[in-house]
Amino acid sequence: MTAAPQERPQIAQCGAIALGTPKLETSLHFFRDILGMEEVERVGDTVYLRGYQEMKHHSLVLFASDTAIVDSHSFRVRRPQDVELFYEEFSAQGVEVAELPAGHQAGRGTALRFVVPYSGHAFELYYDIDAPAAPPEISSRLLSNSSRRRGLGVRRLDHFNIQASPEYVGDAERWLRDALGFKRREYVYVPDNDMLIASWTSVTSQVHDLAIAMSLTGQNSQMHHVAFNLENHSDLIVAADTLRDLDVKFHCGPGKHGIGQAMYLYVEEPGSGHRIELYSGNYHIFDPDWEALGWTPMNPDGMTWFGQELDVTQDGSMASATDAVSSVTSLIGQQAVAGQA
Amino acid sequence: MTAAPQERPQIAQCGAIALGTPKLETSLHFFRDILGMEEVERVGDTVYLRGYQEMKHHSLVLFASDTAIVDSHSFRVRRPQDVELFYEEFSAQGVEVAELPAGHQAGRGTALRFVVPYSGHAFELYYDIDAPAAPPEISSRLLSNSSRRRGLGVRRLDHFNIQASPEYVGDAERWLRDALGFKRREYVYVPDNDMLIASWTSVTSQVHDLAIAMSLTGQNSQMHHVAFNLENHSDLIVAADTLRDLDVKFHCGPGKHGIGQAMYLYVEEPGSGHRIELYSGNYHIFDPDWEALGWTPMNPDGMTWFGQELDVTQDGSMASATDAVSSVTSLIGQQAVAGQA
Amino acid sequence: MTAAPQERPQIAQCGAIALGTPKLETSLHFFRDILGMEEVERVGDTVYLRGYQEMKHHSLVLFASDTAIVDSHSFRVRRPQDVELFYEEFSAQGVEVAELPAGHQAGRGTALRFVVPYSGHAFELYYDIDAPAAPPEISSRLLSNSSRRRGLGVRRLDHFNIQASPEYVGDAERWLRDALGFKRREYVYVPDNDMLIASWTSVTSQVHDLAIAMSLTGQNSQMHHVAFNLENHSDLIVAADTLRDLDVKFHCGPGKHGIGQAMYLYVEEPGSGHRIELYSGNYHIFDPDWEALGWTPMNPDGMTWFGQELDVTQDGSMASATDAVSSVTSLIGQQAVAGQA
Amino acid sequence: MTAAPQERPQIAQCGAIALGTPKLETSLHFFRDILGMEEVERVGDTVYLRGYQEMKHHSLVLFASDTAIVDSHSFRVRRPQDVELFYEEFSAQGVEVAELPAGHQAGRGTALRFVVPYSGHAFELYYDIDAPAAPPEISSRLLSNSSRRRGLGVRRLDHFNIQASPEYVGDAERWLRDALGFKRREYVYVPDNDMLIASWTSVTSQVHDLAIAMSLTGQNSQMHHVAFNLENHSDLIVAADTLRDLDVKFHCGPGKHGIGQAMYLYVEEPGSGHRIELYSGNYHIFDPDWEALGWTPMNPDGMTWFGQELDVTQDGSMASATDAVSSVTSLIGQQAVAGQA
């Protein structure tokens, strides 16, 4: 009898984003003291944070950097062996992949780093990660919270939104689905030539863990925004009130997307200029035979159901460039250089 | 070369609950006109309803009945072949199982019906189910809604909570995990003898799709409640306000459970007495290595984080008995008799 | 000994707005079935409505009309004798004033009608008004509600916002304060020439019962909007969601004004085009020595604290003109002609 | 011609409560750091605080004390001369009254102190009070806020609830109406003998600025609770969540009163045991001819519309006694002794 065929490796969830910031203390103040995230660990000029409902070591890495860059979007895989299995699959495809040692991000085990074909974004995959207890002064009496709700109540990382130039967005999205297993949930396209404008994809019940959208200025390798999750629409309204009084710059919102049916508020992180979304309330997909919902630019309800509209012609320029990461040498990771070398 | 071993069958999600009611029109008025569910189809004295975010044919079956009974809790499986694969597994275990023809519940394909060992609840499994469009007068402009939000805003079925007598709850819960694949997420137990009081289990990212709890009056085969999902905590507060003014009897709430971190309101459905929970806001589990969180009766925060406490000594008696279903003949289903024969 | 000098007459509160609509049934459907107001009485083509927390006969009069007009903004005075006392004061000032008989608006006693100097708006003042019980099928178990909360939860009329041409707004506002006793609470002005742009005034603890603003297109005698009150910010978000799905046209919002600190949503009433504001949450002024807060156009936070901005260059054109009312003959009232003659 | 007869003096609003606490720093931490009030001034062991929407110097005085006592409930009068006019009226009635010098409470002008006949509570009346700006680090960009919203968002003092023994509550309430001008808004009484159980009274549009209720244990001169105002129901839910996680003891709630239609949460202030209510959403009374709404004990909806019930047999014992204040010497004020001598 032959061995059972290996099940293909799978991604389980968004893991963390690593953001370079020219003003580390300002950025840290924003995420920790205003949004209410926990500072779990600091190694030199790199700080690791998580939301109050996240049990694992971190979902946000802030590191000092001359410019606002995104070092990586990272994802956790479903099983320990999936790290190695993805390595094999990428190699077989000819996608260059580097192995990052345990501790490259503090608290994390061995990881893979590679650049998404066509889009140029640096992604990392890992399984092992510590789950440290919070210090007693912020610990929660609820077993499912790592710490108490504080600040504006960010409870967890929610999703990533990345941008690619128009000629690459279709190919990049197809690769994300085929190679990484993201399922298309909703999308915007031009029917005449079936050109993909944007796609919301997930490996969980969320409508999107990862969205990819066309950059209208033609730039590749951009982060449009990273989103953090709040419990209720009312939390988003309170956050808007508070952030306005702190004179934090709003990009858009509060409002509600038709796609995903969640409320949003996009702000500019004061230390770096990265675009941060506060996000609450999307529907969940449990139907095993869900078919992706297609919108066209003729129907603006998908992008803006109500509230202030997002200026779609504005790229996430201040929200980072990962140009350097498309070269082989970049596979080591900016963040290592900036934060830990 | 041998054939690839079959992957085990899996349950994808809660499907529907079938509730018998002595006052069908009163019950229908409650779910349709007050809670805001859509009446999708009526066959004789059986009515099929769904929430505004449910694309499939129904999640609630109401049928005329002399007494308030629960005919079945049903679940949708992940793949078409899982119906047959579950049939084989149950047969191999000696669990009696009946095949229900397509249309036994309107809009649904072939289903299995069996009685959960130890607990005595009638469960049904199916894959195929229609996804009809709503009539234009209630249709939604959002692609992810089957109809517009109406009434108190029930958007979907959320979960089932069943009760078994103290001597059976541990065995029944183990069977649900081993045979059906439900994962234990949180639980209450007595540490001294490791006696299980209640367990919250799921096959999705929800903290529970199915909870099983000890009946303190010793009765088996009880439904404690069935829960429907609202979007925000504020919707729950508005629902409480409205239902009080309609003189609907409250069993408990509004309040917040520590387990699951959701807000709740338990009311008595006016036509039948079945206990219905309105529910909003639980956290989601995306961690692939989630370990079940254990509470003891010494820590009441799990059951009641804040708000009016549930009287745990009160069984779901008015909320139905499925005594009859533990016999072989019952496998045909009460609802068939009552509603469609 | 001489008689005690009469205390000056005072206005107690906003009473009602009378709106002409070309599509009476569409407008009625909007206010009654969607917003949830009670239809208290119908006399020919005139319908009287109130919110669920209003005990008196009506706060909204809808009447069939070829064009969308505002017949009157009416106010209730503090004491029975204040109707007569205001009559004397206006006459002494040379402001033309007509006495409307009891029943001119159904359920109401004798009223005064006059045109606000400079601004040209028709106002009415009255004291006596019936307080009918709601029919049992919508009655509330709460003593302070006239009916149960229904629809989107409009609980009462909140305030009026009127527009005058730039050369008259300052004089009109002064007259409203001097002759009617409205207190200035917040205002926008151009400091260089102390030109008044807008003023929020009240006779109650509200920041405004009556606002007057400069019409940027130069038109006088305009209604900018009439506002109805919702209980919580979350009710406003649900209203936005629901009204979008019903394809009701949004003018602006949801958002939050810095002035008054309330959340807003401006929509176009589908039957008439009148601009209706849904409004929730303003602070209350109990300080007896409150000094009006002055904003300048340099500080846009007053108009829009967050959310979609109001297009201030857009007049309330569809929201009615009361041109005719500046003549003596108009003092009889459009509404009488249209609705009750 | 004779002089115009003086208008009677009037109370404008609740001013402040002065609470003695055995653990000043713990109490200060609760009100300032958790509830989010501003510490405006500290004089020895007396600390003055206000909410973010209060412009005047303070609405809460905390002072070190061996036991949890209430030194005074104070009210602001409508006009400067009303302090003197009340002095004359009380003297004419034979109610002993002491004049407190400016600065007796920091920032405040001359005040009167007297004991409410029958009920035995020490009240103070004043007009002049400073309106200091908040320091820049917490100042608000909104002109109508004295500081930014922080912590759980207490925006202002809302109302007082005092208790008297059964034989005195009727007389005390009548005195409050006749002598101080409070208007009865809602009340609970026993119809058979017209015995007053509780009365909600106000001088503003609020349903109550001051409630007086029967002490079921027969004790006089008790504070039942003092209430602080939050903006929305959702703020109350977040407060409940946060306070539970901080292990603050709940007395009752969250829930909604039928009387006043506001949501409530009663907690025990950790430093002193005083009962504090967080309160949001009551309706406002603008009708000049409002007639008090009468409830009977047969209808429990008034006290508890939904949510956890208040144990009415529990007096505000930990919430202070002002026994000493019924003697003449006490008129100097406990707080002066404790905090400022």
DSSP A146: S
**pLDDT-wise least confident of B18-32, B139-153, D87-101, D327-341:** D327-341
Report yes or no on D280 lying in a domain. Answer: yes
Q: How far apart are the two ends of chain A, measured CA to CA in Å?
A: 50
Per the DSSP assignment, residues forming a β-bridge with C210 are C160, C201
pLDDT tens-digit readout, B11-51: 999 999 999 999 999 999 999 999 999 999 999 999 999 99
Q: Please indicate whether residue B322 or residue D52 has the higher confidence score (pLDDT).
A: D52
| Nearest of B217, B27, D188, B17 to residue C143 by alpha carbon | D188
pLDDT tens-digit readout, B86-113: 999 999 999 999 999 999 999 999 999 9
Mean pLDDT along residues B298-321: 70
Report yes or no on C254 lying in a domain. Answer: yes
pLDDT tens-digit readout, D160-184: 999 999 999 999 999 999 999 999 9
Q: Residue D272 above 60 pLDDT?
A: yes
Residue with tokens 């500019």: A268
Question: Which residues in chain A touch residue C244, judged by CB atoms under 8 angstroms apart?
Answer: 301, 305-306
Cβ-defined contact of D142 to A245 (cutoff 8 Å):
yes
Distance CA A150, CA D266 (A): 21
pLDDT tens-digit readout, D86-145: 999 999 999 999 999 999 999 999 999 999 999 999 999 999 999 999 999 999 999 999
What's the mean per-residue pLDDT of chain B?
90
Cβ-defined contact of D302 to C76 (cutoff 8 Å):
no
Band of pLDDT at residue D320, cut at 50, 70 and 90: very low
Q: Residue B232 above 50 pLDDT?
A: yes
* C239 within 8 A of C265, measured Cβ to Cβ: yes
Alpha-carbon gap: D41 to the closest alpha carbon of chain B (Å):
35
- Residue A328's pLDDT is 34
- Burial class of A8 by CB neighbour count within 10 A (0 to 12, 13 to 18, 19+): exposed
Report yes or no on B188 lying in a domain. Answer: yes
Report yes or no on D146 lying in a domain. Answer: no
- The order of strands in the sheet holding A275-280 is A293-295, A183-190, A195-202, A210-214, A156-164, A222-229, A275-280, A263-268, A250-256, A306-307
- Residue B316's pLDDT is 54
- Residue D324's pLDDT is 35
Closest by Cβ to A307, choosing from C234, C254, C305: C254
User: DSSP 3-state helix, strand, coil percentages of chain A (rounded to 5)?
Assistant: 20, 35, 45
User: DSSP 3-state helix, strand, coil percentages of chain C (rounded to 5)?
Assistant: 20, 35, 45
Total tally of structural domains belonging to chain C: 1
Q: Residue B319 above 70 pLDDT?
A: no
Mean pLDDT along residues B129-148: 98
Q: What is the ipTM of this complex?
A: 0.92
Mean pLDDT along residues C251-260: 95
What's the mean per-residue pLDDT of chain D?
90
Report yes or no on D6 lying in a domain. Answer: no
Report yes or no on B219 lying in a domain. Answer: yes
Report yes or no on A5 lying in a domain. Answer: no
- Residue A316's pLDDT is 54
Band of pLDDT at residue D42, cut at 50, 70 and 90: very high
Which residues from D are below 8 Å from A when comparing CB atoms? 140-142, 145, 148-149, 153, 232, 234-235, 238, 241-242, 244-247
Q: Residue C324 above 70 pLDDT?
A: no
Alpha-carbon gap: D256 to the closest alpha carbon of chain A (Å):
19
pLDDT along chain A (341 residues), means of 10: 69 98 98 98 98 98 95 97 98 96 98 96 97 98 98 98 95 98 97 94 98 89 95 98 97 95 97 96 97 94 87 50 38 37 27
- Residue B2's pLDDT is 46
Q: How far is CA D201 from the centre of its chain?
A: 12
- Residue A157's pLDDT is 98
CATH of the domain at A291: 3.10.180.10
| Beta carbons within 8 Å of B137's beta carbon, 6+ residues apart | none
Report yes or no on D2 lying in a domain. Answer: no
pLDDT tens-digit readout, B266-290: 999 999 999 999 999 999 999 999 9
Percent of chain C with pLDDT over 90: 83
Chains touching chain D through at least 3 C-beta pairs below 8 angstroms are: A, B, C
- Residue D1's pLDDT is 40
Band of pLDDT at residue D337, cut at 50, 70 and 90: very low
pLDDT tens-digit readout, C11-28: 999 999 999 999 999 999
Q: Residue C177 above 80 pLDDT?
A: yes
Q: Please indicate whether residue C335 or residue A247 has the higher confidence score (pLDDT).
A: A247
- Residue B308's pLDDT is 80
Closest by Cβ to D234, choosing from B234, B250, B306: B234
Question: Which residues in chain A touch residue D244, judged by CB atoms under 8 angstroms apart?
Answer: 141
Cβ-defined contact of C293 to D1 (cutoff 8 Å):
no
DSSP B4: P
Looking at chain B, list the stretches that DSSP marks H as alpha helix, in order from N- to C-terminal side: 24-28, 82-93, 169-180, 233-245, 334-335
Q: Residue B153 above 50 pLDDT?
A: yes
Q: Please indicate whether residue C209 or residue B336 has the higher confidence score (pLDDT).
A: C209
Range of the domain at A81: 11-134+151-340
Q: Residue D227 above 90 pLDDT?
A: yes
Percent of chain B with pLDDT over 90: 83
Closest by Cβ to D308, choosing from B234, B240, B307: B307
Question: Which residues in chain B touch residue A77, judged by CB atoms under 8 angstroms apart?
Answer: 288
- Residue B221's pLDDT is 87
Band of pLDDT at residue B300, cut at 50, 70 and 90: confident
Which residues from B are below 8 Å from D when comparing CB atoms? 233-234, 237, 240-241, 244, 250, 253-256, 263, 301, 305-309
Q: What is the pTM of this model?
A: 0.94
Closest by Cβ to B307, choosing from D233, D301, D307: D307
